[in-house]
Structure 1
Amino acid sequence: MANKDIHSLIEGYFDATLSIKEEALLKQLLAATQEDTVDICEAKATMGLFATKRKISAKVLAAKTPKKKWNKLKYAAAIVFGVLLDLFLDIDDSSKKI
């Protein structure tokens, strides 16, 4: 692809008129280009390509899912702790009444 095409894709990216395929193509072109014009540097910075220093491929990155088991276990542990604490305090209170 010519440099004119990459600049037109960058313009379309900032105008929010690119399709998903065009945006993926732009990411690939930006990762592969050695040119450092102002608009290319802005597009790289906006798309996060400076921070990652990795090549963009056609693979879709796996979305991170929250750890549901830990969330459930965390709440279960809090409930068990509360019940045990209540049980302990009730035993302590009943011994004082005698």
Structure 2
Amino acid sequence: MNEMLLAAFALFVAYLYLPTAWLSGLRPAKPMTRQANHLHCPENKFYIPEDAVLRRHFVSQLRWEIEAALHPRPTDSILQRHYDALVTIKLEQRLADMGCLKPC
């Protein structure tokens, strides 16, 4: 009984420290999805959803991530305008860096 527990523990520890590249060879291949069939959009590119609600949520999430990396929003109205302009510029840069703006 103790030997079985020790063997199970050893397998568990080996699984934790095994490189993921080795494990990918053990997994069955994933079927191609509809999005992966399109060759005109590279795999490392993101897309912005076409649906207005999904697009709004996507852009809001990006804006939140940008604002989280910056300092707190100022209370002065002039500084707020400059802060909003900075966030907008960073948002446009991030969207431009993503590349594929249409669904692939």
Q: Same fold (TM over 0.5)?
A: no
Greater RCO (Cα-Cα under 8 Å, separation 6 or more): 2
- The TM-score with structure 2 as length reference comes to 0.24
- The TM-score with structure 1 as length reference comes to 0.25
